[in-house]
Structure 1
Amino acid sequence: MTESAHDDYQLPAGFERCSKLDPVVQAPTALERTRVLVTILANPGGCPWDEKQTNTTLLKNLLEETYEFVDTVEENDREGMREELGDLLMQSLYQAAVCEKDATDPFTLDEVCDRLVDKLITRHPNVFAPDDDANAGKEESAEEVLATWNQMKQREKRRKSVIEGISHAQGAFPRAAKIVHRVAKADDSELFVKAMLRADANEDSSQPTPDDYADQILRVIQQADADGVDIESALRNRLREVEQRIVELESGAR
C-alpha cells in the first residue's frame, strides 16, 4: 500500500471526533491501520471482552472464520471473500496482540513477520539465488517448487518422521488426508499400506467393526490422493449439492 491509502481513508460517519481513533487515522497503510485498531481494542481502555481473550479462547473464532473463508472461495463469492478474508486477518492480528501481552514469553507482530519473510526466502532458494549463482533465473515447474519447499521444511524442522507436525486438533477426516498425502511422498511408497495392517482385521466377517469402516474411508482417501483428487474439497462441494437438494425437496413437500 502507498501513502494514498492513508490520505484517502475516512472514518465511519459519526466517529470523526473520537481521539482514540487518531492513531488509526494516522496509520500510513491500510494493514497498519487494522493492526493499530486491533491493538487498541485488545488493551486496557479498549473492549473489555477483547482484552480478556487468550490465544486459547480465540481458537474457536479462528477456526470458524477460516472455514467461512473456505466457503466463499469454493462458492466463488467474491464479495464474501472480501469480508471473510478481513475477518480471518482480524483473528491473526488478535492472536498477535495477545502474544505481545504475554507475561512470560511475549513477542511482537514484527517478529512474526520477520520470521515469515525469512521462511519465504529460504524456502525459495532458486527464486532468490545470488545474481552470480548458476541457478539464478532458472525456471522451475510448480512441482519442483513444491518439492524444494518440502525439502527445506524437512531440513529446517529436523523432522524424524514424515507425519511429524500434523496437527491433532484438526478433524479426523482432514488429518487422515494430510497423513495419506505426506506418506505418499515418502521414499517407502508402501508405508501407509503396511501401517494399516491390523492383526484383528477380519475381512470375512458379516459384522463390520468400527475399525473396518474407518479402514474403508482411509482406502478411499488413499485412492483419491493417488488420483490427484483433493478429497476434502470434493466432499465439501458434494455436500453443498446434497444440502441444496434437501432444501429443494423440503420446499416441494410443503
Structure 2
Amino acid sequence: MNGGAGGAPAPGRVVLLTTSHRVAAGQLSWPAWRTLHEADRVLCPDPDHPHLPYLREAGVPVELADLTGQELVDATAGGRTVVYLPPSGGAPPAVTDELARLGGSGRVAMPDLELLPGSYDLPGARLLDLVQVMDRIRAECPWSSLRTHEELAKYGIEEMYELVEAIEDGDREAIREELGDVLLQVVFHAAIAEGHPEEPFGIDDVAATLVEKLVHRHPHIYGDEVAETPEQVQANWVRLKGVEKARDSVTDGVPVASPALAQAAKLADRARAAGLPLPAAPAAPAVDDEATLGDHLLAEAAAAQAAGIDPEAALRHAARRYRAAIRAAEADRGAGRFDEDQ
C-alpha cells in the first residue's frame, strides 16, 4: 500500500465488487464472500441492488451511501478495506473517472484499487440479454408487436440464404452477423408464440425440446450405445428419427415449400436410399463435375426465361408429380414405414 505523506495514516484498499445481472442474485464467488466478510466497510449506493437481501442474510452489514471517488479514498484511511458494490447497472462513470483522476494526479496517497468479479457470465449468458431485449421490443414496438409467424416466414428464408452466402464467401465477420440474424428469427417467433391464446410456448420450451431431441439422438454420448465412426452416428440418427416420426413414406419430411431444385434432389435421394425404383424422368445430359452441371442448369433457366416460363414453378410442379410417383411405387411394393436421413 502507498504510505501517507507527512505521517498521515496510510490508506488501505478499495475493492470494486462487480456482479453479473445474468447470474441469480446471491450467487457469488468464494473470494467475493471472503472479501465481503473481512472488509471494514461495505458500501452500496443502490438501495434496490438485488444482492443486498442475500448479503444481509449472510451477516454482511451494508451501508447505503452514494459516495464520490474522493470519499471512497477517504474511507480507506487507517488501512481500512472498503468494498464498493456498484449499482446493478454498473459503476457510475463519475466514480471510476474520479478515482483514475486522483490516482494520476500524484498529489493523493491512493489506496490499492482492486476489481473483484463476484460472479461471471456462464457460456450462453448473452442469450438472456437477447430474450429480454426481444420481449421489450415485442411489447413496445408498434411494428414488431403486430407481427405474426406467417408474416415473418419469408424473412427466415432470406436470412438463411444470406448465411449460406456468407459461408460460401468465407467471410467470418459476415457469418457471425448472419448467424445473429437467423437467431433473431428464432427468438422473434418464440416471442410471438408466447401470446397464443390456446397453445402458448416460449423460448425455454423451444430450447427444452431441442435439448431433449439432441440427447435422445446421441445415445453414444448420453446412453449405452456405441458409435465410433461418423457413419455409425448417422445410422443411429436415421433410426431414431424414423422411430420418432413414424412416417409412412420416404417423401414425408421433405418440405413442399423448399426450393424446387433442393426438393427434387431430396426426393430422388430418399427414393434411392429406400431402394425404390426411381420414377421415369426425361434423359439428362451426362455431367461429371459441378461446373458442368451448373452451366447446364443455368442454360435451362435462361431458356425457360426466354420462353416465358418460371423455371422454379416448373420444377416445383415436376417435383410434386415425382413425389406422387414415389408414393405410388411405395404402395405397389406394399411399403410400411420408412426411415429417412433427415
Using the size of structure 1 for normalisation, the TM-score is 0.63
Q: What is the root-mean-square deviation in Å for CA atoms of aligned residues?
A: 3.0
Q: Which amino acid aligns with 1:176?
A: A
Runs of 4+ in 1 over 6 A off after TM superposition: none
| Residues 207-243 of structure 1: per-residue CA shift (max 9 Å, x gap) | xxxxx4xx63xx97xx88xxxx9x7xx859x98xxxx
Q: 2:172 aligns with which of 78, 86, 92?
A: 78
% identical aligned pairs: 34
Q: CA deviation at 1:184?
A: 2.4
- Which of residues 137, 141, 146 is equivalent to 1:47? 141
**Cross-structure match for 1:103:** 197
Is 1:32 equivalent to 2:114 in the alignment? no
Question: How many aligned residue pairs are there?
Answer: 179
Alignment partners' CA distance in 2, 1:5 and 1:69: 31
Contact 1:100 1:108 in 2 (8 A): yes
Q: Distance in 2 between matches of 1:148 and 1:68?
A: 31
The structure richer in helix per residue is 1
Write out per-residue CA displacement over residues 64-95 of structure 1, whole angstroms, 9 at most, x where no aligned residue: 00100000011111010111110110011101
Q: Deviations over 1:177-226 (max 9, x none)?
A: 2112222221x2xx242x236xxxxxxxxxxxxxx4xx63xx97xx88xx
Q: Distance in 1 between matches of 2:191 and 2:206?
A: 11
Q: Which has the higher strand share?
A: 2
**Which residue is equivalent to 1:179?**
267
Question: Is the aligned partner of 1:67 residue 2:161?
Answer: yes
Is residue 118 of structure 1 aligned with residue 212 of structure 2?
A: yes
Give the Å deviation of 1:125: 1.2
Partner of residue 56, structure 1: 150
The 5 Å alignment of 1:1-254 reads 29-43=125-139, 46-129=140-223, 133=224, 135=225, 138-186=226-274, 188=275, 191-193=276-278, 195-196=279-280, 212=282, 216=284, 235=294
Structure possessing the higher radius of gyration over alpha carbons: 2
- Secondary structure of 1:38's match? helix
1:39 touches 1:97 (CA, 8 Å); kept in 2?
Answer: yes
1:180/1:192 contact within 8 Å kept: no
The question of whether the paired residues in 2 share the 8 Å contact of 1:123 and 1:148 is answered with yes
CA-to-aligned-CA distance 1:32-81 (integer Å, 9 cap, x gap): 101111111112xx111111100000011110001000000111110101
State the structure with bigger RCO (CA 8 A, min sep 6), 1 or 2: 2
Deviates more, 1:138-147 or 1:90-99: 138-147
Deviations 1:112-142 (A, max 9, x none): 111111100111112212xxx4x4xx45211
